[in-house]
Amino acid sequence: DQQVKQNSPSLSVQEGRISILNCDYTNSMFDYFLWYKKYPAEGPTFLISISSIKDKNEDGRFTVFLNKSAKHLSLHIVPSQPGDSAVYFCAASGSDGSRLTFGEGTQLTVNP
Amino acid sequence: GAVVSQHPSRVICKSGTSVKIECRSLDFQATTMFWYRQFPKQSLMLMATSNEGSKATYEQGVEKDKFLINHASLTLSTLTVTSAHPEDSSFYICSASGTSGVRTDTQYFGPGTRLTVL
């Protein structure tokens, strides 16, 4: 039972344009959501997070949007840069904040 | 800050041998450490959670006698894959969370260990 799903395994975007990565979840007990970035043969690195009491969180070029009613979140990167090319995982946790459930990841490629 | 290291980064072993993977938090005290496994093009699957000085809590379907986890100090956790078989070949990643000096709402991941069992 995949409780966190990233339906797009890959996304290709031109440099300077917006990248939109999507994530859906099924467990209504999730109330904290995170995005991680992962390069090959490396561990994921934390990018940005959002609590369920918010619907938007922004950090520089990265913005995460949360639609609780639709159980959907998205990560916007603008402008996209070639160095953003990586696999992006969304993750969710419950109120204890410890146990993370990950999506399958989306490979983002930003073309120069 | 919040650096987590893993050793070794890559290991190849024969079937039937045991392999130990170390996970260290270098600049913070990791009250909780997590071990994940990732198959190609798949999500990170949580194997177990360990708190310093306590027995690890294993996820459903993970054999605790096969994947031995020790979290003896606030900076070190080890995962031992006992009697490894080819199906244990995978990318193993640890993460750590702390309560002081780091964000408390996320986990910090190590670089991973690629295990290949021949």
pLDDT value of position B45: 92
User: Do strands A62-67 and A56-59 pair parallel, antiparallel, or not at all (unpaired)?
Assistant: antiparallel
Contact B44 A32 (CB under 8 A): no
Query: If you average pLDDT over every residue of chain A, what do you get?
Result: 93
Q: In terms of CA atoms, which chain A residue is nearest residue B49?
A: A99
- Between positions 19 and 48 of B, the ones with CB within 8 A of A are 32, 34, 41-46
Task: Determine the residue of chain A that is closest to B96 in CA distance.
Answer: A98
User: Which residues of chain B lie closer than 8 angstroms to A31, CB-CB?
Assistant: none
* pLDDT tens sequence across A79-109: 999 999 999 999 999 866 678 899 999 999 9
pLDDT along chain A (112 residues), means of 10: 90 97 94 92 90 95 97 97 96 80 95 94
pLDDT at position B22, please?
Answer: 97
**pLDDT tens digits, residue range B63-85?**
999 999 998 889 999 999 999 99
Q: How confident is the model over B93-112, as a mean pLDDT?
A: 88
The rounded distance, in Å, linking the Cα atoms of A87 and B75 is 28
Nearest CA in chain B to A89: B43
Q: Is A41–B105 a contact, with Cβ atoms under 8 angstroms apart?
A: no
pLDDT for the residue B100: 81
Q: Distances from the Cα of A5 to the Cαs of A52, A106, B12, B73, B87, in angstroms?
A: 17, 10, 32, 35, 25
Q: Which chain B residues have a beta carbon less than 8 Å from that of A4?
A: 43
CB-based contact B44 A102, cutoff 8 Å: yes
